[in-house]
Amino acid sequence: MLRSTWRGLPAKRHEAGWEPGLVAPAADGSPLVTDHYFPRAEGDFPTLLIRSPYGRGLPWSPMYGLLFAEQGFHVVLQSCRGTGGSGGAFDLWRHEAADGLATVSWLRGQPWFDGTLGTVGPSYLGYVQWALALEPPPELKAMVVQVGLHDPHALFHAGGALHLETALAVAATMTYQHQGMAAFLRATLRLQRRLGAATTAQPLRGAYVSALGGQVPWLDDVMSYPDAEDAYWRGASTAESAERLRVPTALIGGWHDVLVDQTFGQYERLRRAGCETSLLVGPWTHTSALQQGWPEVFAESLAWLRAHLCDDPGGLRPTAVRVHVGGEDAWRNLDDWPATPAATSWYPAPGGHLVRQAPTDRAPLTSFRYDPADPTPSVGGPLLSRTAGPRDNGTLEARDDVLTFTGPPLTEPVDVLGPVSARLSVSSDTGHADVFTRLCDVDAQGRSVNVCDGLGRLRAAANAPSEITVPMSSTAHRFAVGRRIRWQISGGAHPRYARGSGTGEPTVDATTLTPVRITVHTDSALMLPLGGPG
């Protein structure tokens, strides 16, 4: 079935066996239900530990259990505490470090465990790897973090805004996927039907219950504590594990993945620590990396694990970094990331133009009215839904509350390789505003497609010009000859981000919606890291 779904998977080396329903004790003694996949062959084989809150059935059993066992690995697929039949209560992130170490202790008593351990997995399965790496056991010899999480706060909050649609999607997945695919599908369809009501309610607090089919206590907490310094988030981020890690670690991300910025943060920390690492970034969303991208993701993961667990480095590529370049639909091997350390400035100009010449003043340029009762909708980008990724922005850009500044048709290709940002000089008549900023590629027919974006929050005196810098994620994108570079600015992207109320009230408790007039000043700048041909 797997080989008919994905072309390019390697031929299996062994038949795979399955030993389901084993029990490993958690740190507090709670039973953690564990399935063991293994190659049906004589000899010693390294072990892969995969700990998941999403269950042990589809897609984890075939994609991770069977495929890796066929390639010559013992695979331990375990349900996290409080999920998939395991005992105890699931509490987002709080038990993973201790339960991971307890599981390794259990592994040491298994007759088939030869003392060589690796980890692999996506999303929260990446988080449990970083949690184990906080105090890495001596047996841990390699990690593969695929579209992985290390900072829960950053997943749910950015620039002061709540990632509302992502929070609801994560809650549905965490609550239902480990109950089986049928339960998860029903929950997903219910969330789609009721998303509008859940994201426009006043107040937002508790409004998700009908959309998710019940209360999710950890989601209430996540939505209630937007400040990363709040005690609630203490110990949530495992970023420090990468700052001193010596375990060879491969990182895999997608340009439209909700966690791609965390992947780049992981890479930067590992390189700074001198840890052996590699980075692969494809043209994927969070989910498509494990769907359309699975042949590349699996091959990258397998090569890294064989090199560091089996002393077989033949499959490794010659460079540390490999990225897919949008606009030319090609892959490039790079020595490091970011490929271009410096950024160039592009400025908004009268008439909706985008120019390279710096302005001579910081005068008001243009303004628009953002009405939270009719919030600017989100279109594409890094989401957890089917609408994620690059999308036609034409309908969005036709709205009165969306500004666009567009450069002339290019006479030679322009490569953007690295982190993109906006330095915005803005003011608002209430002093409270969100500013969403996006880089787009416009073709010869005028079709505008999103490349990368970000959101920042303005808090200032009414009508007072303020400068805010908005990170817009990173990209590897070629703007081809004849294309135009477009900078899009608006007051939000709902329901991807919870809408700003215009009053400064806390997001989950706001009951008053006040329209805001946002003014963009001439000294604003779009910062693009330009690179040469690769």
CATH assignment at residue 446: 2.60.120.260
Lowest mean pLDDT among 146-155, 339-348, 472-481, 484-493: 339-348
Distance CA 442, CA 126 (A): 35
Helix/strand/coil (H/E/C) assignment for every residue in 352-407:
CEEECCCCCCCCEEEEEEECCCCCCECCCECCCCCCCECCECHHHHCCCCEEEEEC
Higher-confidence position of 300 and 507 = 300
Contact at 8 Å (CB) between 77 and 106? no
**Which residues, 6 or more positions from 518, have their beta carbon under 8 angstroms from its beta carbon?**
367, 368, 369, 370, 426, 427, 428, 433, 435, 458, 491
Classify residue 214 as left (phi > 0), alpha (psi -120 to 50) or beta.
left
One domain, residues 429 and 519: yes
455 or 506, greater pLDDT: 455
Q: Which of 207, 232, 257 is the last residue of a domain?
A: 232
276/348 same-domain check: no
Which alpha helices (H) appear in 112-159, and where do they start and end?
124-133, 152-156
Q: Is the pLDDT of residue 4 over 60?
A: no
Same domain, 281 and 378: no
Q: Spell out the residues 6+ positions from residue 264 whose beta carbon is closer than 8 angstroms to its own.
A: 253, 337, 419, 474
Q: What is the DSSP letter of 61?
A: I
Angle between helices 181-200 and 164-176 (to 10 degrees): 150
User: Which pLDDT does position 2 carry in this prediction?
Assistant: 58
Render pLDDT for 24-42 as a digit per residue (tens, 0 to 9). 999 999 999 999 999 999 9
The percent of residues above 70 in pLDDT, for the chain, comes to: 98
Q: Are residues 23 and 140 part of one domain? A: yes
Are 442 and 355 found together in one domain? yes
Residue that is last in its domain, among 205, 232, 259: 232
Give a yes or no: residue 325 inside a domain: no
Contacts of residues 391-398 at CB distance under 8 Å and 24 or more positions apart, as own/partner, are: 391/449, 391/450, 392/447, 392/448, 392/449, 393/438, 393/440, 393/448, 393/449, 393/450, 393/488, 394/446, 394/447, 394/448, 396/488, 396/490, 397/448, 397/488
**187 located within any domain:** yes
Contact 64, 50 (CB under 8 A): yes
d(CA 360, CA 362): 7
Please tell me the predicted confidence (pLDDT) of residue 533: 45
Looking at the structure, tell me whether residues 175 and 309 fall in a common domain: no
Peptide bond into 413 cis (omega under 30): no
Whether residue 146 sits in one domain with residue 33:
yes
Number of domains comprising the chain: 3
- For residue range 302-318, what is the model confidence (pLDDT) as tens digits? 999 999 999 999 999 99
Name the one residue in this structure whose structure tokens are 């400035």.
345
Give a yes or no: residue 334 inside a domain.
Answer: no
Q: What pLDDT does residue 386 have?
A: 87
Tell me, what's the pLDDT at 424?
A: 97
Same-domain pairing of 275 and 313 = yes
pLDDT at 311: 95
- Alpha-carbon torsion, ordered 5, 122, 215, 78, to 10 deg: 90
Mean pLDDT of 142-161: 94
Give CA separation, 288 vs 83, 121, 318, 380, 384, in Å: 24, 14, 26, 14, 10
Task: List the structure tokens of 154.
Answer: 């950053």
Looking at 317, 332, 360, which one is the last position of a domain? Answer: 317
- How much is the average pLDDT of 183-198? 95
Per-residue confidence at 350, pLDDT binned at 50, 70, 90? Answer: very high
Q: What's the pLDDT band for 505 if we cut at 50, 70, 90?
A: confident
- Does one domain contain both 169 and 309? no
Residues in the chain, overall count: 534
Residue 473 tokens read as 């994620």
CB 134 within 8 A of CB 241: yes
pTM of the model: 0.95
Residues 119 and 28 in one domain: yes
Q: How far is CA 500 from CA 19, 368, 370, 466, in A?
A: 51, 15, 9, 18
Q: Can you name the residues that pair with 368 across neighbouring β-strands?
A: 518
Identify each DSSP E strand in 257-303 by its residue range: 277-285
Please list, in sequence order, all residues whose beta carbon lies within 8 angstroms of the beta carbon of residue 229, skipping any fewer than 6 positions away: none
Nearest Cα neighbor of 290 from 413, 384, 362 is 384
Rounded average pLDDT over 397-407: 98
- Helix, strand, coil % in the chain, rounded to nearest 5: 25, 35, 40
The set of long-range contacts for 341-345, using a CB threshold of 8 Å and a minimum separation of 24, is 341/418, 341/529, 342/529, 343/418, 343/419, 343/420, 343/421, 343/527, 343/528, 343/529, 343/530, 344/527, 344/528, 344/529, 344/530, 345/423, 345/525, 345/526, 345/527
Beta pairing partners, 33: 23
**Percentage of the residues of the chain whose pLDDT score is greater than 90:** 91
Q: Is the pLDDT of residue 532 over 60?
A: no
Q: Within a domain: residue 338? A: no
Q: What is the pLDDT of residue 22?
A: 98
Residue 450 lies in a domain: yes
Which tens digit of pLDDT belongs to each residue from 245-302?
Answer: 999 999 999 999 999 999 999 999 999 999 999 999 999 999 999 999 999 999 999 9
Which of the two residues, 339 and 90, has the higher pLDDT score? Answer: 90
What is the residue-averaged pLDDT of the chain? 95
Q: Are residues 356 and 252 in the same domain?
A: no
**Structural domain contains residue 496:** yes
- Is 359 domain-assigned? yes
Would you place residue 534 in the very low, low, confident or very high pLDDT band (cuts 50, 70, 90)?
very low
CATH number at residue 241: 3.40.50.1820
Encode pLDDT of 68-118 as tens digits: 999 999 999 999 999 999 999 999 899 999 999 999 999 999 999 999 999
> Based on the domain organization, do 372 and 489 belong to the same domain?
yes
Structural domain for 200, as ranges: 156-232
Residue 335, domain member (yes or no): no
